[in-house]
Structure 1
Amino acid sequence: MRFAGVGLVMLAAVCWGISGGIGDILMNKGWDPIVISFYRGAVAFICFLAWFLIRFRKNWLFSTHLYIWSLLAGVGVAGNFTFYFLSIQASSIAVAATLMYTAPVFVLLISFVLRLERSTWFKWGCITGVLLGIILLTGAYSTDSISVSFLGAAAGLAAGLSYALFIFGFKNASSIGNPPTTLTIAFFSFCLILYLFADNEETASVLTSSDIGWFLLLGIVGAGLSFILYVIGIRRTAPTTASMVAMVEPVTASLFGFLLLGDHLTTIQIIGMVIILLTVTILSVKRSD
C-alpha cells in the first residue's frame, strides 16, 4: 500500500490522457471545445450526485471550509479546461500543453509560500526533468513551426495556474469531507460556470446527436472515474508530488493518438516520454521511502 496514493493519481492521469484523445475526436467532428468540456463535467456531476445521494446521511456534512475548497476546486477544473482549449485555438497544442504543465512550478511556489512543503533540490530537479520531457514530447522546442500569440501564452499559463488551484482545492476539501461530497460540490460549480459560456443551442443539440456516446464516454472516463481516483489518491499524496505524477497524462494522450488516431511518434517524442516516466518513477520511489 506504500504506492497507493501515487498509483491512484497516476491512473487518474491515464484517464485524462485518454479523454484528450476522445476530445480530439469530437473537435474533429466540429463540436465546440467549451461544449465538449461542459459535457465532460456534466456527465461526471450526474455520477457524483448519484453516488452522494445513495448514502446521503453518511455523505452529508455541513462545513463552510469544505464548501469553499470544493467550489474553488470546481473553479480550477473549469478554468483549466477552458483556458487549455483557448490556448490551443490561439497558438497550438504543443504550446498549450507545455504551458499548462507549468502547474508543478505554481504548486511548489504556493506550497513554499504557505509553508506546506519545503523547497528542495530534488523537487526542483523533478520539475525540470518533467518540463524537459513535456517540451520534447510536444515539440515546443521547434520555434520554426510554432506561432505563439500573447493570448495563447497567457491562456496556457492560466490553464497551469487553474490546474494548481484545483490541486490545492481538492487536497484541502478531501481532508475535511469524503469524496462524494467534495466531487459533487466541485462539479456543480464547474457545470454552472461552463454553462454560462457554452453555446446553448449547440449544447442542447448534443442530446439528439449521434455522437452522444462519445460525450458519455468522455464524461465517465475523463472526469467521473478519473476524479474519483484522483481525490482518493491525493489524500495520501503531497500537492507537488500529485502534480508531477499527473504528468503521465500527455504520455497517455500521445500513445492514444499513435494507436487509435494514426499519429506518429518521432524519436525525440519517445525520448520525452521516457524522461517523463523515469522522473515520475524516481519521484514515486523517493516519496514512498
Structure 2
Amino acid sequence: DKLDTINICDVLDTPERKKQYRISKVNSFDLYEQKQLTRHHHNLKEEENVYKNRLQKCIDIVFPEFNKLFNSKYGTVYMNILKTFGSAENVANTDIRTIRKCFEIEGRGNRISLTPERLKECARSSIGISSSAEVIQIKHLTAQIELIEEQLTEIDKKIEEFSIQNNSPILSIPGISHFSGTSILAELGDISNYSKPSQIIKFAGVAPLHYESSQFNAQHTSITKKGSKYLRKTLYQIILPVIRHNQVFYKYYQLKISQGKGHRCAQGHCVRKLLRIIYHLLKTNQQFDPQLLR
C-alpha cells in the first residue's frame, strides 16, 4: 500500500547511520529455518522437564518406592507400568500375567533386572496412598512426555539433515553434536557480520559484566547474559563434553580452578575459549586440530 511504499523509499533514501536496513540473502532463509527448529527443540525440552517434574510429584504420592526399582527413569518398562497402572495399589491388585505384559520389549534394548514378581511385592508393601486423581494425572503426563519425545525425534532428524548440508568445520570439535552445532550456527548467523571473536562472545552474553561507579571498579562480576539465550544455553550444555574430550580444554579448566575460580566461572572461561576457536574455524573453514591449541 502507500504507507509501505513511503516507508521503503524513506529507508533506502536515508543515510545508513540513521536508519539501518539489512539485505537478506538466500542462505539467511536456511539459517532462519534452522534457528526455528533448534529453538523449538529447546522449548520442547523445557516443556518436557516441566511434565517430568509433575510426574515425579505424583509418583511420590502413590508409589514413592517406584524409582528405586529402576537404574534409570523413563525407559520403556518404566513408562509402560505407569501408563497401565499408575499407582502401587493398582499394581498390587493386578494379576501377575497382566504385569508381565508391561515387561515385554521389542527390539534390542537393554533388559532390566527388575522382575514382575519383585514389582508386585514392592507394591504390596508400599506406603503410597490411593488417589484416583493422581493416577489420572500420571497417565496423562506419561502420554504428554511420550508425545514430546516423538516430536523431538522428528525435529532432530531434520536438524541432522541441515547439519550434514551445512558441513560446518565446528562439527570437528569433539563434544559438538549435529544439534548443538546447528544451534550455534543458526544463532550466530552469517559469520562475516563479525569482525573479531569478542563480538560473538558479547552476542552470546558470556562476556564479563563491567561495573563501575564513581571511584569503584568491580573486579569480580558475572556474565552479561545479553544476546541470544538459546546460544548461551547450548554453549553451557556442550562445554562439559568439550572439556572431557579435549586435553587442552581440560588443562585450561583446571588452571582456572587452581586460580581460585568456581566451577561455573571456570566453565565461562572455557566457553569464551571455545567461541574464539569457533570464530577461527568458521572464518578460515579449517578443521579443528587440538595440536594447534595453546
TM-score by length of 2: 0.28
Which has the higher Rg, Structure 1 or Structure 2?
Answer: 2
User: Which has the bigger relative contact order, CA under 8 A and spacing at least 6?
Assistant: 1
Relative to its length, the structure with more helix (as a share) is: 1
TM (norm. structure 1) is: 0.28
